[in-house]
Amino acid sequence: MPGLITLSKIRFFFITEIECMIQCSIITIGNELLIGQTIDTNSAFISKTLNDAGVWVHRKVSVGDNYQDIRKALDNELSESDIVIMTGGLGPTADDITKPLLCEYFGGKLILNEEVLEHIKYLFEHVLKRKGPLLERNIRQAEVPDNCTVLFNNRGTAPGMLFLKDHKMIFSLPGVPYEMTALMTEEVVPRIKKHFQLPVILHKTLITAGAGESYVAEKVKDFENELPENIRLAYLPQHGIVRLRLTATGNEKEALQKLTEHYFNRLKENVKDILVHDEDENMEYIVGRMLKEKNLTLGTAESCTGGYIAHLITSVPGSSAYFKGSIVSYSNEIKEKVLGVKTETLKNFGAVSEQTVIEMVNGALKTLECDYTLAVSGIMGPDGGSTEKPVGTVWVAAGAMKNSELRTETKLFQFRYDRKKNIEVTAIQALNFLRSFILKNQA
């Protein structure tokens, strides 16, 4: 048929015509990052923001507040990247050395920017309500290299900076996440799009559960071998869940979407027996949407997780529409007095048992007056385990009242991590168990 674009033609087009990716390096600066005192969330935001815009982040480097280390990192990344984004080291204290270093590196001199100075005065006088004159160190924050483009920071006192060298872009941004995120979206990305001709990058992600990474890889090995050169498959295992992500690159968005959708549907067919969801959402969002769509309510009865499941559920905006509350029955006393777990049950079977979580579910359904209840009880470690019930033993139960009849389902898990990871994995696996239970009992 005239004008018909076949799949084979689309594949050939992308393999032969796709432009080279614009590559970016991220350099995060600060001793606090290297000693683990501060977790680097900036890189994750920068990477996602740039990837959505069509820029490929191919390396991240962390360095301390050391002049030579920063220079060396900048030399290395500029030799291989089209864009370098630096965060940190722009504050008013002696260890903030990024600005004078960049001034020297690019052969400039520091000058006072009056617009930035007026903004700093406004923040101190009208926002922070500070009395008295500005300190000299605060005034110096308005100094910028004369050969940079100033990126105005509406949220803080340290301006961002842009340097150009051999058609490459070097950005220096504050390390404060609240300030950095605004500069990325309002200044950095628009300038990159204007400076470079960017390709299209598309991601499609699905979620599987009930199978390990190796098993999933075996299921899709033939599919993976048939992927065109511009589409890659990534495996992202976490907390007993395996995400599968297709990443496609090209120049024509509409054609790329068609090609990606074709292979994504094939991928879903390959894993249909373990497929949880065909979008990249956390389990608390998936369960929450199921409940909200059917106007159902949920409550939790938590022992070993100490309210962490409720925390995940309530982190979702709008969760008050379906979440009634949680009973954190950490002690046996609360299990008995609030949830109505029988003394005989605890004595004969123990707190970590199928019998106990069933009674916890029943008690929570009555107390919280909800449609569904999720209960967990386990041994998170590092102490408390035994030969019969080692650390990582967790019982999970889900329950619902249907036609005045209690329906419950239970599952035993055996995890092998440290205390923190055991709690996190328990919460995610329990929510997935609840998801499955709701699907079985929604009629």
Domain containing residue 269: CATH number: 3.30.70.2860
Read off the pLDDT of residues 295-333 as tens digits, 9 standing for 90 and up. 999 999 999 999 999 999 999 999 999 999 999 999 999
> What would the mean pLDDT of 244-252 be, rounded to a whole number?
93
Last residue of a domain, which of 277, 293, 325? 277
Number of domains the chain is built from? 3
Instruction: Please tell me which residue, 210 or 354, carries the higher pLDDT value.
Output: 354
Residues 356 and 421 occupy one common structural domain? yes
Output the pLDDT for position 16. Answer: 37
Read off the pLDDT of residues 158-173 as tens digits, 9 standing for 90 and up. 999 999 999 999 999 9
φ, ψ for residue 289 (rounded to 5)?
Answer: -65, -40
Q: Answer yes or no: are the C-beta atoms of 45 and 129 closer than 8 Å.
A: no
CATH number at residue 404: 3.90.950.20
145: preceding bond cis by omega (within 30 degrees): no
Last residue of a domain, which of 277, 309, 331? 277
Q: Give residue 146's identity as a one-letter amino acid code.
A: D
pLDDT over 70, % of the chain: 95
Output the pLDDT for position 9. Answer: 42
Residues 115 and 229 occupy one common structural domain? no
The reply to whether 236 falls in a domain is yes
437 Cβ neighbours under 8 A, 6+ residues apart: 372, 398, 400, 409
Residues 369 and 432 occupy one common structural domain? yes
Last residue of a domain, which of 235, 256, 277? 277
The reply to whether 15 falls in a domain is no
Residues 228 and 121 occupy one common structural domain? no
Output the pLDDT for position 27. Answer: 98
The reply to whether 425 falls in a domain is yes
Residues 240 and 299 occupy one common structural domain? no
Q: Answer yes or no: are the C-beta atoms of 362 and 377 closer than 8 Å.
A: no
Output the pLDDT for position 442. Answer: 78
The reply to whether 76 falls in a domain is yes
* CA nearest neighbour of 82 among 61, 98, 46, 58: 58
CATH number at residue 84: 3.40.980.10
Residues 35 and 119 occupy one common structural domain? yes
pTM, to two decimals: 0.78
Distance between CA 255 and CA 53 in Å, rounded?
A: 17
Tokens of 85: 């984004």
φ, ψ for residue 248 (rounded to 5)?
Answer: -120, 140
* CA nearest neighbour of 358 among 306, 399, 313, 302: 399
Output the pLDDT for position 406. Answer: 87
What is the DSSP code string of 331-373? SHHHHHHTT---HHHHHHH-SSSHHHHHHHHHHHHHHHT-SEE
The reply to whether 409 falls in a domain is yes
The reply to whether 387 falls in a domain is yes
Burial 339-349 (b: 16+ CB within 10 A, else e): bebeeebbeee
Residues 143 and 119 occupy one common structural domain? yes
Distance between CA 188 and CA 180 in Å, rounded?
A: 10
Beta-strand relationship, 55-63 and 22-29:
parallel
Q: What angle do CA 67, 23, 90 make, to 5 degrees?
A: 30
Please give the residue range of the domain that contains residue 220. Answer: 200-277
The reply to whether 6 falls in a domain is no
* CA nearest neighbour of 201 among 16, 80, 23, 43: 23
* CA nearest neighbour of 275 among 261, 260, 262, 265: 265
Residues 70 and 161 occupy one common structural domain? yes
Output the pLDDT for position 20. Answer: 59
Confidence of residue 404 (pLDDT cuts 50, 70, 90): confident
Residues 246 and 319 occupy one common structural domain? no
**Is the pLDDT confidence value at 253 over 80?**
yes
Distance between CA 200 and CA 259 in Å, rounded?
A: 13
Only one residue has tokens 């970016």, namely 24
Residues 170 and 34 occupy one common structural domain? yes
DSSP secondary structure letter of residue 141: G
Residues 187 and 208 occupy one common structural domain? no
The reply to whether 44 falls in a domain is yes
- The 10 Å Cβ neighbour count of residue 128 is 9
